């Protein structure tokens, strides 16, 4: 059983310089209250692993605008011109990863794989510096795991064990990142007593979740 | 009919019933509007839904249900919401029947470049590399030229999206099929001659006899 | 939309010599009606990929007893003495794979990976004949994908699109095998009209399922 | 108290509150019976449930809810049902706090052999190799000797389960901790002397001063 944390107390767990896996796709399914609290406390030098950086003023975009971020590993930054400017100016180091490879690299970290072989990126710039391995006559890139010090998740509903349900396209990277953060903090819309969620509806088992944020006001 | 509508209408004809189709952002997303009512297709949005539906009526949006461009959508009966691992598992595992993508360049090998212009536009590849590497059929939907310059080249000058021959190129001027032997001109666009196409195309095109016109 | 097939018609789709991924763990979550029909039609020379062969007279054990099987890839055959006898007599070729590696190899096939790197099996007989790859100073085995001509699944509930839900410990290998069979046949307890299953409850999207068996009598 | 009960009781003392624990079939499964009521633990059954509960009352079994041995079980409030990819993802990804497994042999390196006897018993490794490779803590729970012959050896003669030093060996005679320097004798079993243990053990044991007795 976990007591729900105040948002600010959760944000205070995260030190400058940490690597954060942050759920969300263009801000949908991102832990918005937690992001606001991280901005408010003036975090610095964070590495953000996420699908994208949303747009200025929204979700992960707020972390970028506030100068909290020194490195980003993402599949897409095209809708956030600030991220692109900070990349060009050298303020933020950006590593671009194909979306499917990104989610598999995070999953690999979460389930204890040393890497995965994928055809995505073969014959492209994504090859650079990577080992190529041939299996059954076909060439693959060896892609290595991406671990996070923290995983920051948005969820639809939780119980006080930490079991999580997600809603519609707000699943995205959240269930996978839940596996790959050393410390996992989940921000649910609502929290119900233990036993109220059917075992078959649980998408992230509570034993993966270290901290639960209080429910949305 | 404007260029985009020509392209969207023509691409729509390629979609077979009961398949899973992913439409890229922008021009490709228009294809859904031209699908005959009797053709049942599941559209995938790679951010996590199979069975993408129309835009919701105003005031009935769900902030947790958007397409890959971030626009509010609905879902059809029989839809499934999935996480990114399942979504790209479907794309990369060969379960996606067709993807329709925009293009910056395509070349004689049928290779596509559509994700970056070095020094100018570095948005990231998003799901494009996975889609081109993994989908059963890849259709490139794009206007034939950019500012009067050909986009179908001998060899792409921009960074490739994948080393995979795409299935079909559909522009407002032509339908072109990349094959082992090169690019075959299959159809001409409305009011366009074969010579017009050859002039607007840097790549060599293989022309077999009389080339039929698109039926739109 | 799919019309539900009679069990015998589904079994008739499967030719002798096919490789079948069969869901289930000691018979729980196995497609029992389909197995009975395959036994009844006298299938021969099947390759079975499954966690185990249950026990004589139950689930996959029936395929073994009936002489339908020439090869088995499984993690455990210890509770089925017939499988062990047929392995020793040479009637059945058995490849033993650690359970976690087995499910990842099937998943790799299903999601288009050329292989995965795992520490499981390092320093054991499982190493034999496999490539070892070092990542970040740690040694891993390269394990390759396992594809099936068919995946035979048991599910709790389906709709006529083929969307599937599973129940409790009857999930096991089913949702993963759904990704890796060229033809996927699902045997649900019940089938409901399209639209009756919440998109968030679907664990196997219907587009993966080629054929649906009629509901249980 | 019989040998199995001694072992199960002693192993139960190792379990910390609010952890995720996997108990193997047979002897290890008895450990759950000896956990103090106030210690809340989630038990995992690797066939797909977190929060394994007691046996159901007769007539209230669900054929879709069993443990990894195939026995009917229940699930506690807050349980989650998971597929095999998630189940072994938890085990292999380092999310399982402890596994308790039976053993055929353990050696001075702390390596375990528990999955086959060539030519005699080839049941398959099931989840054992994943559990030993992936769990944070691996406890071997076994009787000290088999038909009077030591099971704790200089080097395992049976095929290894993994090349990983297990965390603790608990028998009815001793608690032994494999360390970088070798096997350290931590506790003696009821009515057993250090000499008895040394005699029943082929491997060298490191003995530091007075070895305390198990407190059961």
Place of tokens 């889609």: B131
Non-local (6+) Cβ contacts of B114 within 8 A are B101, B102, B103, B104, B105, B128, B140, B161
CB-based contact C115 A140, cutoff 8 Å: yes
* CB-closest option in A1, A112, A163 to D80: A163
Mean per-residue pLDDT over chain D, rounded: 96
pLDDT 10s digits, A69-89: 999 999 999 999 999 999 999
pLDDT 10s digits, B186-200: 999 999 999 999 999
Inter-helix orientation angle D84-92/A99-111, to 10°: 60
CB-based contact B123 A78, cutoff 8 Å: yes
pLDDT score of B162 more than 90? yes
pLDDT score of B203 more than 90? yes
Residue D177: both structure tokens together: 């901790």
pLDDT 10s digits, C150-206: 999 999 999 999 999 999 999 999 999 999 999 999 999 999 999 999 999 999 999
- Inside any domain, residue A123: no
- The CATH number of whichever domain residue A51 belongs to comes to 3.40.1080.10
First to last CA, chain A: 21
How big is the A-D interface in CB pairs under 8 Å? 56
CB-based contact A207 D42, cutoff 8 Å: yes
Neighbouring C-beta atoms of residue A13, cutoff 10 Å: 13
What band does B21 get if pLDDT is binned at 50, 70 and 90?
very high
Count of alpha carbons within 13 Å of D167, Cβ hemisphere only? 17
Q: Where are the alpha helices (DSSP H) in chain B?
A: 3-12, 84-92, 128-134, 194-199
Q: Which of residues 85-114 of D touch C (CB under 8 A)?
A: 85, 88-89, 91-92, 111
All structural domains of chain B, each given as residue ranges with its CATH number in brackets, are 3-206 (3.40.1080.10)
Q: What is the pLDDT of residue B115?
A: 95
Q: What are the residues of chain C with a beta carbon less than 8 Å away from any beta carbon of chain A?
A: 104, 108, 111-119, 133, 135-136, 138, 140, 142, 144, 165-168, 199-201
Point out the residues of chain C with pLDDT beneath 50: none
Give the residue numbers spanning the domain of A199: 4-113+146-213
On chain A, the residues whose CB falls within 8 A of the CB of C118 are: 112-114
- Inside any domain, residue C157: yes
Non-local (6+) Cβ contacts of D56 within 8 A are D62, D72, D73, D74
Q: Where are the alpha helices (DSSP H) in A90-160?
A: 99-111
- Inside any domain, residue A133: no
Q: What is the pLDDT of residue A25?
A: 98
Q: What is the rounded CA–CA span in Å between residue D30 and residue D127?
A: 19
**C84 vs chain D: nearest CA distance in angstroms?**
8
Non-local (6+) Cβ contacts of A180 within 8 A are A21, A106, A107, A109, A110, A145, A146, A147, A148, A151, D93
Residue A144: both structure tokens together: 């290595």
Q: What is the rounded CA–CA span in Å between residue C43 and residue A1?
A: 51
Sign of CA dihedral B58, B61, B66, B70: positive
Q: Contact at 8 Å (CB) between D129 and C124?
A: yes
Q: Which residue among the candidates D5, D14, D38, D46 is catalytic per the annotation?
A: D46
pLDDT score of B88 more than 90? yes
- Blockwise average pLDDT, block size 10, chain A, 217 residues: 92 98 98 98 98 97 98 96 95 98 98 98 97 96 98 98 98 98 98 98 98 91
Q: What is the pLDDT of residue B37?
A: 84
The verdict on A189 touching B (C-beta cutoff 8 Å) is no
| Most C CBs within 10 Å, among D22, D50, D125, D127, to test the C interface | D125
Over residues D166-182, the mean pLDDT reads 98
Q: What is the pLDDT of residue B119?
A: 84
Total domains, chain A? 1
Over residues D145-171, the mean pLDDT reads 97
- Inside any domain, residue A87: yes
Non-local (6+) Cβ contacts of A32 within 8 A are A59, A154, A187
Q: Contact at 8 Å (CB) between C184 and C176?
A: no
Q: Which of residues 118-157 of C touch D (CB under 8 A)?
A: 118-126, 156
pLDDT 10s digits, D66-76: 999 999 999 99
Q: What is the rounded CA–CA span in Å between residue A127 and residue C111?
A: 20
On chain A, the residues whose CB falls within 8 A of the CB of C104 are: 111, 113
In the beta sheet, which residues pair with residue C204? C164
Touching A (3+ Cβ pairs <8 A), the chains are B, C, D
CB-based contact C122 D47, cutoff 8 Å: no
Sign of CA dihedral B127, B128, B129, B131: positive
Any idea how long chain B is?
A: 216
- Catalytic site includes residue D202: no
> For residue B177, which of B9, B10, B6, B16 has the smallest C-alpha distance?
B10
pLDDT 10s digits, B104-148: 999 999 999 999 999 888 899 999 999 999 999 999 999 999 999
- Inside any domain, residue A122: no
- Inside any domain, residue A127: no
* CB-closest option in C110, C180, C195 to B77: C195
pLDDT score of D206 more than 80? yes
Q: What is the pLDDT of residue B99?
A: 98
> For residue B41, which of B12, B9, B70, B68 has the smallest C-alpha distance?
B12
> For residue D168, which of D152, D190, D155, D146 has the smallest C-alpha distance?
D152
ipTM: 0.97
Q: What is the pLDDT of residue C115?
A: 98
Q: Which residue among the candidates B5, B14, B38, B46 is catalytic per the annotation?
A: B46
Q: What is the pLDDT of residue D122?
A: 86
Q: Contact at 8 Å (CB) between C150 and C181?
A: yes
- Inside any domain, residue A170: yes
- Inside any domain, residue A126: no
Q: What is the rounded CA–CA span in Å between residue A17 and residue A24?
A: 21
First to last CA, chain B: 10
Q: What is the rounded CA–CA span in Å between residue D184 and residue D168?
A: 10
pLDDT score of B86 more than 90? yes
Over residues B96-108, the mean pLDDT reads 98
Q: What is the pLDDT of residue D38?
A: 82
Q: What is the pLDDT of residue B107?
A: 98
């Amino acid at each position: 059983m976990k007591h729900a944390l105040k948002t600010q107390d959760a944000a205070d767990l995260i030190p400058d310089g940490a690597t954060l896996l942050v759920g969300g796709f263009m801000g949908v399914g991102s832990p918005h209250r937690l992001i606001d609290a991280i901005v408010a406390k003036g975090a610095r030098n964070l590495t953000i692993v996420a699908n994208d950086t949303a747009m200025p003023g929204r979700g992960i975009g707020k972390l970028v605008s506030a100068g909290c971020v020194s490195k980003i590993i993402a599949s897409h930054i095209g809708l956030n011109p600030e991220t692109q400017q900070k990349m060009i100016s050298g303020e933020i180091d950006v590593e671009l990863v194909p979306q499917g490879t990104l989610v598999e690299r995070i999953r690999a970290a979460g389930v204890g794989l040393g890497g995965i072989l994928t055809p995505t990126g073969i014959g492209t710039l994504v090859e650079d510096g990577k080992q190529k391995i041939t299996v059954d006559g076909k060439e693959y890139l060896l892609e290595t795991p991406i671990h996070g010090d923290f995983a920051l998740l948005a969820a639809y509903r939780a119980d006080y064990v930490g079991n999580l349900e997600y809603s519609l396209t707000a699943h995205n990277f959240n269930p996978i990142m839940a596996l790959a953060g050393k410390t996992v903090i989940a921000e649910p819309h609502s929290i119900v007593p233990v036993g109220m969620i059917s075992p078959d509806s649980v998408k992230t088992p509570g034993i993966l979740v270290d901290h639960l944020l209080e429910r949305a006001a | 009919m404007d260029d985009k509508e020509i392209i969207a209408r023509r691409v729509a004809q390629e979609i077979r019933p009961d398949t899973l189709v992913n439409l890229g952002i922008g021009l490709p997303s228009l294809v859904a509007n031209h699908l005959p009512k009797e053709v049942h297709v599941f559209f995938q949005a790679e951010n996590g839904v199979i069975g993408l539906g129309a835009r919701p009526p105003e005031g009935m949006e769900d902030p947790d249900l958007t397409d890959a461009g971030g626009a509010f959508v609905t879902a059809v009966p029989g839809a499934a919401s999935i996480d990114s691992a399942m979504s790209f598992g479907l794309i990369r595992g060969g379960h996606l029947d067709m993807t329709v993508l925009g293009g910056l360049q395509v070349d004689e090998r049928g290779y596509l470049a559509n994700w970056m212009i070095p020094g100018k536009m570095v948005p990231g590849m998003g799901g494009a590399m996975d889609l081109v590497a993994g989908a059963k059929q890849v259709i490139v939907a794009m206007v034939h030229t950019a500012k009067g310059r050909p986009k179908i080249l001998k060899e792409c000058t921009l960074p490739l999206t994948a080393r995979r021959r795409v299935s079909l190129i559909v522009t407002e001027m032509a339908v072109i099929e990349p094959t082992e032997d090169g690019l075959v001109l299959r159809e001409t666009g409305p009011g366009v001659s074969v010579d017009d196409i050859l002039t607007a195309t840097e790549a060599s095109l293989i022309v077999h006899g009389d080339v039929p016109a698109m039926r739109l």
